[in-house]
Amino acid sequence: MTDTAAVGRARRRARWPWVVLVVVTLLAVFVVAAEVIARAVVPATVRGLVIDALDLPADQQLDVETQGVLLPQLLGGTLDELRLSSDQVTIGGVTGAAQVTATQVPLRGGSLAGAEGTVIIDQSQFAGLLERVELPITEITLDEPDVTVHGGISVLGAEIPLALTMTPGADDGDLMLTPIAVEVAGAEVDLQRLAGMFGDIGAALAGPQRVCIADQLPTGITLTGLRIDGTSVVAEISADGRIAVDEALLEPGVCP
């Protein structure tokens, strides 16, 4: 073996770690670049799909966030978690700030594992929902955790002021208002006395008030909770995972 050949092999052995280092570095740069591109493209694509599906304005403010490292999720065809939020969005007849988290979102079509979120509405929006209640409402006051409706009952031609305090909630997709206290002409009265004072109207006021809001939401979205938070109303919602593939679930629901 010549000295020249030995020197050549020694040089190649010396260069080999540097070649590996360069290849690894290039691969790392490629992965980082691909991840950056994925994080830019995926949210924009999802935003467009959601806006089209819900028939929202093209300039609708809608933020989309993904979780975790995207490349493995993209290669696997499923996003682990997707978060959508908007400071103001109108869905059906309800306008508010919305935040929804969807899990196991398939990229090649299919149902979601599930989606849950909240919609925060103000007092005026909440008052609009209560227009369907059989209550003599002229004013609404939010006082966490309850809501008080003010109105009056006509008795023998005289209007008697009434303030009914109720705790909001949800039951089987409906908005529920459970009376806890009442004032008649400024004086606190036991709820059970309302029937004796005002007959059927009083009995109705003393019982839970159920409000159907299904026609204000897509069929695939259900109200699961409702609470007062300061001066806002927080509605908790849940979405049927099939809403991603069944257009019928995007249509407004129906109230009986």
Tens digit of pLDDT for each residue in 161-210? 989 999 999 999 999 999 999 999 889 999 989 888 888 888 888 899 99
Buried b (16+ CB within 10 A) or exposed e, 93-125: ebbbbbbbbbbbbbeeeeebeebebbbbbebeb
Where in the chain are the domains?
A: 1-78, 92-256
* pLDDT reading at 68 higher than 60: yes
Average pLDDT (147-154) is: 88
The pLDDT of residue 7 is: 45
Instruction: Provide mean pLDDT across the span 18-24.
Output: 62
**In the structure, what pLDDT confidence band is assigned to residue 155 with cuts at 50, 70 and 90?**
confident
Q: Average pLDDT of the chain? A: 85
Phi and psi dihedrals of 250, rounded to 5?
Answer: -95, -10
CA distances to 53, 63, 89 from 59, rounded to whole Å, are 14, 12, 11
Q: What is the pLDDT of residues 217-235, one digit of tens each?
A: 889 999 999 999 988 999 9
